[in-house]
A and B are shown apart, each in its own frame.
Chain A
Amino acid sequence: MKLNNQALVEFCGVTIGYGRNRLAENINWRVERRALWGIVGPNGAGKTTMLRVLLGLLEPLAGRVKRTPGLRYGYVKQREALNETYPFTVGEVVMTGRYGLMSWLARPGAEDHAAVEEALTRTGIADLRDQPLRELSGGQKQRTLIARALAARPDVVVLDEPTNDMDIAGEQSVLNLIQQIHERDGTAVIIVSHLLNTVLQIAENLVFLKENEYGVFSKADFIGQNHLERFYGIPIQVLKHSGGSYCVVPNSE
């Protein structure tokens, strides 16, 4: 049963890593309803490891992850990790997002098909329903993965590097979709990315991971209090655009 005023997920003194390799220790972090988080940091800092602990795919080395009973994740994995050996169609892939809701012997029913159709329509790929996933563009594959996550009617959508290798138009399209999901459904969203500028466009709060260090910030704090230079170790300049978005660039002066 979901408790309205409590966090959906809470990290309590969590240490993440593998074996003796500890990537970040004593993480305390809460994901509230309707929150929009970014997990950022340099490559190898432990972002994906933290995501795997969040999803329950990996046990923390120490501490505990508390989850609201019955919590449903919508997981959008990296496109590069897609298995394209067999010609699964877009519709078939999105339907797998419903499998976690079905009992062992159940077959997809009317409600499942309706959820899939709704997810396909919301992500703008209903006309690709019968196309093999492996024949789609990168942006279309990304939308398919997002549709799969939506089909599960999740409480938290978790996206791993959703805009990698995308052009600017494709990236903006995906970010707009994510923002729409967050605003329309009130779904908590967590984006993991090494692309700080991408995450800064929509995240309200940030978890920053660096070797043996982590920080939890609101976006304003993160940008305004020189955390960027401390975490990246180089002079940083933050450019604010008239529309309210930010762009972070190295300061060459």
Chain B
Amino acid sequence: MFSEPFLLIALAVGLLTGGLCAYLGNFLLLKNMTFISIALAEIAALGVAIGLALHLQPEPIALLLTFAAIIWFWQQGRKGRRATEGQIGVLYAASAALATIVIALNPMLETHGVDLLSGNLLYATGGDLVVVAAVAGIVALPHILFRRQFLFVSFDQETARAEGLRSHLWDLVLMLSIGFFIALCMRFVGVLFVFASLIIPGMAGLALFGRVHLVFYASVIVALCSVLIGFVASFRFDLPTSPAIICTYALFYGACLLWQRAKR
């Protein structure tokens, strides 16, 4: 299996996207914004569908729509009016439906393996891997430099602002970094993989550890292990790749919960 270059490339893309989504997802969990993550993933998917249907590069359109949604959520937060679950649900459902319509109107997209739900990891090329790695590096840099600020505004934005931090701006940069990565890796991994990678590894980390930095490390390790095991399982049993990885996430999470219960 590991002698096939296209499989190695697909695995590398999966590890990069799963690992970084797991890290970024901790901020969404901390901010109690779980459902915004799937709305953003679906909005990015809509952008990819529109771009491909118009024979354009899908990433800029995915970025545009994702950033527009993030700025809208951010503006709501600034006004003290957090987006309700209903509003998030509307965005998710409408984006999913529109993306489905766009693909249905362009059957050639399906024949070229465009699967926005489950993704197309196996179609990733060496050039795609370079792009994903570069994007991961661009997103990782502000998180290395400003992790302290991102954690503070996610934990307690109001106090951060009272102390004089420009918490709204830090929050915007954080959310745009997450949206940037989601939009640019959506084409390869699909909505379900992005959503699952943002949420499940972080939940597993919370079940395992009682220290914030350990939760972050554990979430990334769970994601990397799940991607590797799920990828191998999909090859071995001829399963769709992203769903196999997601099921592995869920199994890991279940194991973490059992371990947490046994620890008590």
Contact = CB atoms under 8 A, between A and B. Distances in A.
Interface string A75-97: 10100011101111100100011
A62 interface: no
B30 interface: yes
B156 A99 contact: no
B163 A57 contact: no
Interface in B138-164: 145-146, 148-149, 152, 155-156, 158-164
Contacts of A83: 30, 32, 155-156
Interface string A13-42: 000000000000000000000000000000
A85 B210 CA distance: 11
Contact of A99 (B26, B29, B165, B211): B165
Contacts of B161: 55-57
A99 B162 contact: no
Contact of A87 (B145, B165, B211): B211
B69 interface: no
B169 to A, nearest CB: 11
Contacts of B148: 99, 102, 107
User: Size class of A's contact patch?
Assistant: 20 to 34
B162 A85 contact: no
Contacts of A152: 163
Interface string B73-87: 000000000000000
Nearest to A135: B210
Contact of B156 (A57, A87, A96): A96
A77 B159 contact: yes
Contacts of B164: 72-73, 100
Q: Chain A CB within 10 Å — which of B29, B211, B215 has the most?
A: B211
A100 B166 CA distance: 10
Interface string A148-179: 10001000001000000000000000000000
A82 B211 CA distance: 17
A105 interface: yes
A87 B215 contact: yes
Interface in A53-75: 55-57, 72-73, 75
Contacts of A88: 155, 212
Given A56-B162, A75-B162, A85 B29 contact: yes
B interface, by DSSP: helix, strand, loop or mixed? Answer: helix
A215 interface: no
Contact of B152 (A57, A72, A96, A107): A96
B29 A105 contact: no
A86 B135 CA distance: 28
B162 A86 contact: no
Q: Chain A CB within 10 Å — which of B155, B209, B212 has the most?
A: B155
Interface string A124-163: 0000000010000000000000001000100000100000
B43 interface: no
Nearest to A19: B79
B155 A132 contact: no
A96 B159 contact: yes
A106 B80 CA distance: 30
B157 to A, nearest CB: 9
Contact of A73 (B30, B162, B211, B215): B162
A86 B206 contact: yes
Contact of B211 (A57, A85, A89, A105): A89
Contact of B165 (A55, A100, A132): A100
Q: Chain B CB within 10 Å — which of A82, A88, A107, A148 has the most?
A: A88
A105 to B, nearest CB: 6
B163 A99 contact: yes
B30 A100 contact: no
Interface in B151-201: 152, 155-156, 158-165
A56 B167 CA distance: 12
Nearest to B205: A86
24 contacts: A56-B162, A57-B161, A72-B164, A75-B162, A75-B163, A83-B30, A83-B32, A83-B156, A85-B30, A86-B29, A86-B30, A86-B212, A87-B209, A89-B211, A96-B159, A97-B163, A99-B148, A99-B152, A100-B160, A104-B145, A104-B146, A104-B149, A107-B148, A152-B163
Top-5 shortest CB links A-B: A100-B163, A75-B162, A100-B164, A55-B162, A87-B210
